[in-house]
Chains A and B, each alone.
Chain A
Amino acid sequence: MSSLQQTLTLAWRSLLQLRRNPWELMDFSIQPILFLLLFLYVFGGAVAGSTAAYLDFILPGVIVMNLVFVTVYVGHGLNTDLTRGVFDRFRALPIARWSPLAGRILADMVKQAWCVLLLLVVGFLLGFRLGAPVSGVLVMLALLLVFAFAMSWIMVLVGVVARDPEHVQLFGFTALFPVTFLSNVFVPLDTLPPFIRAVVAANPVSLLAEASRGLLSGGPVLEPALWSLVWAGTITVVFAPLSLWALNRRLARS
């Protein structure tokens, strides 16, 4: 069996867990829909004048926000495998050393794609219509997955360092809430006070949301997309080696 097949088998295993654990599926499927509905109908009128206009604005934003939250599952799953001894079981098998981690990240990509498509369908039902070519959806999906991949490395580090899976979740939500809210997901950049505008403008969540808006409804794409890729590259270059180093250190210490 090739190491690619081993990775696919391990990704299949992560996705199979969902069938036995519908709460997780609900968590990353229902929660973003609730966010979308709440913000749309509570703030829509105040922020954009009408819910219809606001939908065009926040649908891409909520997709990006959810993407960032869903990466927590990489850390959560990895930590569960490490603390429960499942990771050791895999390491004692004659399979490629990197396949358990790769399988976990690959499964996360599938979850991410599912979430993006689900939110697009819900948006469509709420009245959202594409204002740009359909190919834009595919480019957006690719861009988002590249960023999710980069974020996975941060979550691998969190998964390695955390004492138990609950701490991964706790960290995930306390650290990621400010990161996602200090962005242009819910409100346009120019409504913000100047002192946080610079932070918000540089936030990769804002850049991804802006690029996604452009790809779905028309508007600037190239610049925010390029900056998002710069972020993704930087995060990967910093966190991939750091996470692997931390993982090997943890494995060598028990």
Chain B
Amino acid sequence: MDDAIRAEGLVKQFGATRALDGIDLSVPRGTVFGLLGPNGAGKTTAVRILATLLAPDAGQAWVDGFDVVTEAATVRSRIGLTGQYASVDEKLTGRENLILIARLLGFSRRDARARAGELLAEFGLEDAAHRPVQTYSGGMRRRLDLAASLVGQPRILFLDEPTTGLDPRARLDLWNLIRQLVAQGTTVLLTTQYLEEADSLADEIVVIDQGRVIASGTSDQLKARIGGQTLVLAPEQESDLATALSIVTEIVGREPEVDGARLQVPASDPALVPAVVRRLDESGIVARELTLRGASLDDVFLTLTGRHASVETPADDAEVAP
């Protein structure tokens, strides 16, 4: 068993909903593994099973070689977990939260204080260390939450949507912290709704939908499958939509999807944009909107399942104007 995390055929049912419908995962040591999917895809359920918080209905999983059901106590001593919601005590200060975790992990009073001090410095929380967490910003809370899961220096870290709800600046800060951890040899399993996040952090990505793995590979492999970028075109006059559609189809070599008065199509070659502009000009069509934007989770989904993912795009989604 050389993988840091391995799962075989995980199934979990909540009432009538099948949250996980047979998931296999294998995460090599020292890598970042991205679990990508929209809300309700089963990401959190998978993490909760791997972190021993939930028992699977069927299937088996091992973390650091230990079975998450029969050897749960050992698994708990190897992992750190940072949930979707900042799971620190809001009424305690940042320092008290870290000391509490350290004491629970068996640190002596003095060692607990020292470890808390180290982490507060490392995570840029020294100035706020004496303040109750309820006065922290979202980004500070998330950093403290991450620090809390690192008190015992776990070899394997689960990050369940670590940057959801954070502003772009705080998100970048957190990404850098995660990269540092990985550089020190920690294995990270990360769930996210943002392709961009998985792209920037993960060595390998698994896309899940309705409790099943629908695609897996490196970020580049996935992008190659979905074309990487999307061409969006909205003609000024709606009556021009049909003409625009045939122009785009001809140039891209693939029929765009019509979304209201807008056309969208995966497009990998940036040279397509000037070609489209030229043809539209020749046909006398004025574009209200013409952009080439980076692939979003929605594009991945549309390509893989033919359905839209119901997620909001991150605030800093890169848009490339023609």
* A residues lining the B interface (CB < 8 Å): 1, 6, 9-10, 13, 16-17, 20-21, 84-86, 88-95, 251-254
Contact = CB atoms under 8 A, between A and B. Distances in A.
Given A9-B100, A89-B83, A254-B48, 16 more contacts: A1-B104, A1-B105, A6-B104, A13-B89, A16-B92, A17-B91, A85-B85, A85-B86, A86-B88, A88-B81, A89-B101, A91-B53, A92-B76, A93-B105, A94-B74, A254-B54
Q: Please classify how large the interface on chain B is, using the bins under 10, 10 to 19, 20 to 34, 35 or more.
A: 20 to 34
Contacts of B233: none
B67 to A, nearest CB: 15
B77 interface: yes
10 contacts: A1-B106, A20-B132, A85-B84, A89-B88, A92-B52, A92-B79, A93-B104, A93-B105, A94-B74, A94-B105
Interface string B131-165: 01000000000000000110000000000000000
A88 B88 CA distance: 10
A168 to B, nearest CB: 16
Interface pairs A-B: 5 shortest CB-CB: A85-B87, A1-B106, A94-B77, A89-B87, A17-B91
B246 to A, nearest CB: 50
A86 B53 CA distance: 13
Interface string B94-111: 001000110111100000
Contacts of B296: none
Given A85-B85, A251-B53, A252-B55, A94 B73 contact: yes
Nearest to A6: B104
Interface in B30-73: 48, 51-55, 73
Given A13-B92, A86-B89, A94 B100 contact: no
Interface of B: 14, 48, 51-55, 73-74, 76-77, 79, 81, 83-93, 96, 100-101, 103-106, 132, 148-149
Given A85-B85, A93-B101, A20 B92 contact: yes
Contacts of A6: 104
B5 to A, nearest CB: 15
B312 to A, nearest CB: 22
B91 A20 contact: yes
A88 B89 contact: no
A85 B83 contact: yes
A92 B89 contact: no
A9 B83 contact: no
A16 B81 CA distance: 24
A92 B55 CA distance: 13
A20 B93 contact: yes
Contacts of A95: 104
B91 A92 contact: no
Contacts of B149: 89
Contact of B87 (A88, A94, A253): A88
A75 B288 CA distance: 57
A150 B126 CA distance: 42
A1 B77 CA distance: 13
A101 B87 CA distance: 17
A21 to B, nearest CB: 5
B83 A10 contact: no
Nearest to A9: B103
Contacts of B79: 92
A92 B92 contact: no
A21 B52 CA distance: 32
Contacts of B52: 91-92
Contact of A88 (B83, B100, B103): B83
Contacts of A86: 87-89
A89 B54 contact: no
Contact of B104 (A10, A84, A252, A253): A10
A91 B104 CA distance: 11
A95 to B, nearest CB: 5
A19 B20 CA distance: 43
A84 B73 contact: no
Contacts of B100: 9, 13
Contacts of B48: 254
Residue picked from A6, A20, A95, most chain B C-beta under 10 Å = A20
